[in-house]
Structure 1
Amino acid sequence: MGLLVELQKRIPDGWFLRRLLPAVLFVVVATVGGGQLGQRHWDDLGLARERIAGALRWSGGMSGDGVASLVLVGVAAVGAAFAVPFAGGAIGALASGAWPWWLMPLGRRLTAWRVRRWAPPEETGRRAVRARAAGRQLRADRLDARRARTGPAEPGSPTWSGDRFRATEAQVRAETGTDVASEWTRLLLALPDAPRAALSEARDAYDAACEALAWSIAFTVLGAWWWPAAPLGVVVGLASWRSLRGAVGALCRTTEAVFAMRHTGPPSPPPQP
Structure 2
Amino acid sequence: MELLVELQKRIPDGWFMRRLLPATLFVMAAVVGGGQLGQRHWNDLGLARESIAGGLRLSGGLSADGVASLVLVAVAILAAAFVVPLAAGAIGALASGAWPWWLMPLARRVTAWRVRRWAHPDELGRQSVRARAAGRHLRADRLDARRARTERAAPGSPTWSGDRLRATEEHVGRESGSDIASDWTKVLLSADDIPRTALSETRAAYDAACEALAWSAAFTILGAWWWPAAAVGVLLWPAGWLSLRRAVEALCRTTEAVFALAATDPATPTVSP
Provide closer, same or farther for how the CA distance between residues 116 and 20 of structure 1 changes in structure 2, counting only shifts above 3 A: same
Letter matched to residue 51 of structure 1: S
Name the structure 1 match of 2:202: 202
Letter matched to residue 149 of structure 2: R
1:40 partner SS: coil
Aligned partners of 1:224 and 1:99: how far apart in 2?
Answer: 28
Matched, 1:48 2:44: no
Letter matched to residue 18 of structure 1: R
Provide closer, same or farther for how the CA distance between residues 77 and 85 of structure 1 changes in structure 2, counting only shifts above 3 A: same
CA deviations over 1:19-55 (Å, ceiling 9, x no partner):
0000000000011001111100000111111122222
Kept in 1: contact 2:210–2:240 (CA 8 A): yes
Kept in 2: contact 1:172–1:259 (CA 8 A): yes
1:228 partner SS: helix
Aligned partners of 1:149 and 1:160: how far apart in 2?
Answer: 10
Aligned partners of 2:9 and 2:148: how far apart in 1?
Answer: 44
Name the structure 1 match of 2:269: none
Aligned partners of 1:217 and 1:8: how far apart in 2?
Answer: 25
Aligned partners of 2:9 and 2:228: how far apart in 1?
Answer: 35
TM-score, normalized by length of structure 2? 0.92
Name the structure 1 match of 2:225: 225
Name the structure 1 match of 2:153: 153
Letter matched to residue 73 of structure 2: V
CA deviations over 1:217-243 (Å, ceiling 9, x no partner):
000111111000111101111101000
Letter matched to residue 70 of structure 2: L
Aligned partners of 1:156 and 1:13: how far apart in 2?
Answer: 34
Letter matched to residue 167 of structure 2: A
Kept in 2: contact 1:56–1:66 (CA 8 A): no
- The answer for unaligned runs of 5 or more in structure 1 is 1-6, 267-273
Deviation at residue 9 of structure 1 after TM alignment: 8.2
Aligned partners of 1:138 and 1:8: how far apart in 2?
Answer: 44
Deviation at residue 8 of structure 1 after TM alignment: 8.7
Provide closer, same or farther for how the CA distance between residues 177 and 121 of structure 1 changes in structure 2, counting only shifts above 3 A: same
Letter matched to residue 93 of structure 1: A
RMSD of aligned C-alpha atoms? 1.5
2:155 partner SS: coil
Aligned partners of 1:76 and 1:33: how far apart in 2?
Answer: 15
Name the structure 2 match of 1:102: 102
Letter matched to residue 157 of structure 1: S
Deviation at residue 137 of structure 1 after TM alignment: 1.6
- Deviating beyond 4 angstroms after TM superposition, the runs of 4 or more aligned structure 1 residues are 7-10
Alignment of 1:113-128 (within 5 A): 113-128=113-128
2:58 partner SS: coil
1:25 partner SS: helix
Deviation at residue 125 of structure 1 after TM alignment: 1.0
Aligned partners of 1:38 and 1:150: how far apart in 2?
Answer: 44
Deviation at residue 62 of structure 1 after TM alignment: 2.1
State percent identity of aligned pairs. 76
Name the structure 1 match of 2:34: 34
Deviation at residue 82 of structure 1 after TM alignment: 1.1
Name the structure 1 match of 2:112: 112
Name the structure 2 match of 1:62: 62
CA deviations over 1:42-75 (Å, ceiling 9, x no partner):
0011111112222222332122222222211111
Matched, 1:76 2:62: no
Matched, 1:237 2:231: no
Aligned partners of 2:68 and 2:12: how far apart in 1?
Answer: 28
Aligned partners of 2:171 and 2:179: how far apart in 1?
Answer: 10
Aligned partners of 2:262 and 2:13: how far apart in 1?
Answer: 31
CA deviations over 1:144-191 (Å, ceiling 9, x no partner):
111011001000000000000000000000111111011111111111
Deviation at residue 79 of structure 1 after TM alignment: 1.0
Name the structure 1 match of 2:24: 24
179-188 vs 102-111, which deviates more? 179-188
Question: How many aligned positions are there?
Answer: 260
Letter matched to residue 31 of structure 1: V
Kept in 1: contact 2:8–2:15 (CA 8 A): no
Aligned partners of 1:89 and 1:197: how far apart in 2?
Answer: 21
Aligned partners of 1:35 and 1:132: how far apart in 2?
Answer: 55
8-17 vs 235-244, which deviates more? 8-17
